Amino acid sequence: MRSVVVPIILLLLLTGCWDQRLLKEHSLILAIGYDLTEDGKIEKTITFPAKSGGGGQVSISTKTETISVIANTVKGAEIKTDEYSPEKFDRSKAKVIIIGKDLAEKGIFPALDSVYRDLRAPLYASVAIVEGTAKDALEVEDTYSLLTSDFYSQLLTTATEAGIIKDDNIQEICPIILSDGKDIIIPRITLLEDGKRAKISGSILLNGDKWNGKLNLDENVMLLTLMGEANKNRKMNLLVDPNEERQEKRYVNFSLRNEHRQLTWEHTGDNDITVTVKVSLQIEIDEYASDHLYDEKKAKQLVDSITKQTEKRAKKTIEKIQEANNDALGVGEKIKAYDPQLWQEINWKETYPEIEIVPEFDIEIIRHGILN
């Protein structure tokens, strides 16, 4: 008798899932786009997979459905989307949030803040900015037979794994926007062929939460290297022999294997601050048509050329981020933490564009290629 009573009592004490959300009762939003209209309103575009079936049996289609609504605020647009579906929309599984250029130029934080405050928000969704409108980006035609959300998610993931962009999510972005001494960069998407195709084309430099400049992919790779964002899949291609007759012999392609960054500064009075970014790199030569790297003299000449060209590209990249008043290197964050007295004496947003930032590279070739 006891063996029967105990399970019955335990069954009565067990509670059900109070906040369960059944798939058949919801439409899962997998990608979200925010744009600023000409009259200053918010246009929200959502994509979700079409569903089919009935009688409790629901199947997800590979077809993407898209809805766009316009409202005064982000929350207002969220409420309006419910007018278009017999089911409740659920954005907790969204994989990517795309922001249009006009909204990014005015400021992205109000849009992200609405998501950040939601208990069921997709805090791990990737964020990208498109040169154009988010609506057009989410209506792109060539997605390689993937759902639109999967296309952009995989596009960002692949570029991150290759070390050419930094793919941050909402949970990582918002605290940096709200803090002093550091700025963010966000992957940049460009639409091609009248909106039929899309690609990663670099990054957007934000001053606070506003678009204030951009980098191409080569410059973005350099910035990530200066930031100390190590990635063993990252590669660089540099012009090292401009006097060579054959085009392919002018360039070297190499992979970054080990990296160490050290950031120091010197304050000599008033707002006169000099920052040195020392980067030690161990590289592997992937392609160098001139070859003969078994020759110690030839190898040293190549290292010198790579160092010179790397520092040249680094200076150009630093010039761009300072013009955009974007402290992606986190210089202000370092000063704030280790020299609070200096931090209190300066207005960082006014001082940062005027300071001198000097890149220094120590490069070692640890592998010359298959032949040598």
Q: Pick the residue with more confidence: 324 or 301?
A: 324
> What is the average pLDDT across 159-186?
93
Where does the pLDDT of residue 1 fall: very low under 50, low under 70, confident under 90, or very high at 90 and above? low
Please identify, among 170, 187, 215, the residue that sits at the C-terminal boundary of a domain.
215
Is 138 among the domain residues? yes
If asked whether residues 114 and 75 sit together in one domain, one would say yes
**What is the average pLDDT score of the chain?**
87
If asked whether residues 208 and 244 sit together in one domain, one would say no
Is 96 among the domain residues? yes
Where does the pLDDT of residue 113 fall: very low under 50, low under 70, confident under 90, or very high at 90 and above? confident
If asked whether residues 194 and 79 sit together in one domain, one would say yes
| pLDDT at residue 274, as a whole number | 96
- Residue 95 pLDDT exceeds 90: yes
If asked whether residues 200 and 274 sit together in one domain, one would say no
- Residue 144 pLDDT exceeds 80: yes
| pLDDT at residue 4, as a whole number | 58
Angle at CA of residue 237, ends 234 and 243, nearest 5°: 165
- Residue 7 pLDDT exceeds 90: no
- Residue 57 pLDDT exceeds 60: no
If asked whether residues 55 and 140 sit together in one domain, one would say yes
CA atoms within 13 A on the CB side of 29: 27
Where does the pLDDT of residue 60 fall: very low under 50, low under 70, confident under 90, or very high at 90 and above? low
Nearest to 255 by CA among 230, 279, 277: 230
Where does the pLDDT of residue 86 fall: very low under 50, low under 70, confident under 90, or very high at 90 and above? low
> What is the average pLDDT across 123-130?
94
If asked whether residues 211 and 303 sit together in one domain, one would say no
pLDDT digit string, tens, across residues 190-242: 999 988 999 999 999 999 999 999 999 999 999 999 999 989 899 999 998 88
Q: Pick the residue with more confidence: 275 or 285?
A: 275
Structural domain boundaries, residue 297: 230-372
If asked whether residues 279 and 174 sit together in one domain, one would say no
Angle at CA of residue 166, ends 339 and 355, nearest 5°: 35
Is 175 among the domain residues? yes
- Residue 5 pLDDT exceeds 70: no
Is 225 among the domain residues? no
- CATH number for the domain that contains residue 288: 3.30.300.210
If asked whether residues 58 and 111 sit together in one domain, one would say yes
In terms of average pLDDT, the best of 127-141, 232-246, 356-370 is 127-141
If asked whether residues 180 and 321 sit together in one domain, one would say no
| pLDDT at residue 56, as a whole number | 54
Where does the pLDDT of residue 160 fall: very low under 50, low under 70, confident under 90, or very high at 90 and above? very high
pLDDT above 70 as % of the chain: 87
Where does the pLDDT of residue 255 fall: very low under 50, low under 70, confident under 90, or very high at 90 and above? very high
Is 37 among the domain residues? yes
| pLDDT at residue 132, as a whole number | 95
If asked whether residues 29 and 143 sit together in one domain, one would say yes
Is 3 among the domain residues? no
- Residue 22 pLDDT exceeds 80: no
Where does the pLDDT of residue 369 fall: very low under 50, low under 70, confident under 90, or very high at 90 and above? low
Where does the pLDDT of residue 23 fall: very low under 50, low under 70, confident under 90, or very high at 90 and above? very low
Q: β-strands 31-36, 42-52: how paired?
A: antiparallel
Is 257 among the domain residues? yes
If asked whether residues 186 and 254 sit together in one domain, one would say no
Query: Hunting for tokens 């803040």 — which residue is that?
Result: 113
Please identify, among 215, 246, 273, the residue that sits at the C-terminal boundary of a domain.
215
Lowest mean pLDDT, pick from 22-31, 32-41, 49-58, 279-288: 49-58
Nearest to 27 by CA among 116, 76, 75, 94: 94
| pLDDT at residue 8, as a whole number | 61
If asked whether residues 257 and 211 sit together in one domain, one would say no
Is 234 among the domain residues? yes
| pLDDT at residue 12, as a whole number | 55
Lowest mean pLDDT, pick from 123-127, 215-219, 287-291: 287-291
| pLDDT at residue 18, as a whole number | 44
Please identify, among 156, 189, 215, the residue that sits at the C-terminal boundary of a domain.
215
Cα–Cα distance, 292 to 123 (Å, whole number) = 51
Q: What is the count of structural domains for the chain?
A: 2
